Amino acid sequence: MLEELAAAIQANAWSLALATIEEGLKDDQLPSLQRLGRLGQLGDTPTFICELARGLVEPSPERLRLGSALAAQARDHAREREALGFAPREIVTELLLLRRVLWRFVSQRAAELGTQDVLLVERRLNDTLDRLVTECVVAYFDRATAELAREANHDQLTGLLHHQAFLRELEAEVERAGRYGHGVALVFLDLDRFKEVNDTLGHQAGDRALKSFAGALRGCLRASDRGGRMGGDEFAAYLVEADGEAGRRLIERLGGQPGSFAFSAGTAHYPDDAVDADALFRVADERLYSAKRASAA
């Protein structure tokens, strides 16, 4: 009888998925469904229904374990739903409504099943649905945690690493360079006459200038390099596996950007100029302010 029930669920997967949508639209339980077309509303629900049916006759811990294909699909479903504007509560509610629809379908056939089979169906359906719910919740928290971690390390205005995070990554990179015999170039930058922009045009114009400069700096870096906002109108970048001229070349590229804000810069190179991150910054800082004084003379 379990095989017949599973076959019936699979054969009716589409209509069961549509019934789940109707449940979600009823009393506006899933408001985000209203914004989608029919295929968008269905999402992965028909596939999940087929997997639930399969689990009735082929229960396997492997299918429900962390990292399984079913778990990965549930996480992808949660991410796609979130991208479509679904709140976490809606993503979980959708699966709970699916449970209600499936159990209503099973109840209509309960007379054909023995008591033990009904209990077995309930347990197996719940086991699979519980895994789907768990993976959807985990997918949301994984993304939220990653986003919080990124926000904790990045400057809110420019999206570059903030001062402390930049220093931590530079220290780690200098240690790696020491182990493998690579060079690291550090460039320290300061916007020229930035205070005048704030004083004459206002802080919003100053913020736009900072964001624009940060974008130009980011565009001049390789994926392996890092840029940071060190505070105010001061920026820095480090270049990995770099020779002694890499910092100068970055400055030339940045200065050649269309509409680039005027800036002064100082460079330092590991291991030619200094042997640790703090010393690199001191050298680059001294050279930056020498350049600043020279441009003001």
Other CB atoms within 10 A of residue 56 CB: 21
Place of tokens 């778990």: 71
Residues with a known catalytic role: 233
Residue-by-residue DSSP string for 20-73: HHHHHHGGGSSGGGGGS-HHHHHTTHHHHHHHHHHHHHS--HHHHSTT-HHHHH
pLDDT (0 to 100) of residue 174? 95
- Sketch the domain layout of the chain as residue ranges: 2-153, 161-296
161-296: which CATH number, 3.30.70.141, 3.30.70.270, 3.40.1050.10, 3.40.50.2300?
A: 3.30.70.270
Under 8 Å between Cβ of 196 and 264: no
Q: How far apart are CA 284 and CA 140, in angstroms?
A: 42
pLDDT (0 to 100) of residue 297? 61
pLDDT (0 to 100) of residue 259? 62
Under 8 Å between Cβ of 24 and 97: yes
Which residues share a beta bridge with 185? Answer: 239, 269
Instruction: Look up the pTM and report it.
Output: 0.59
Domain 2-153, CATH 3.30.70 — does that match? no
Under 8 Å between Cβ of 212 and 219: no
Q: How far apart are CA 247 and CA 77, in angstroms?
A: 45
Q: How far apart are CA 85 and CA 36, in angstroms?
A: 10
The SS3 of residue 89 is: helix
Q: How far apart are CA 141 and CA 151, in angstroms?
A: 15
Place of tokens 């209600």: 100
Q: What is the mean pLDDT of each run of 10 residues along the chain (297 residues)?
A: 87 93 91 91 90 83 73 88 89 92 88 81 86 87 81 90 94 94 95 87 90 93 94 95 94 82 93 94 94 77
Closest C-alpha among 188, 209, 211, 212 to residue 268: 188
Under 8 Å between Cβ of 163 and 170: no
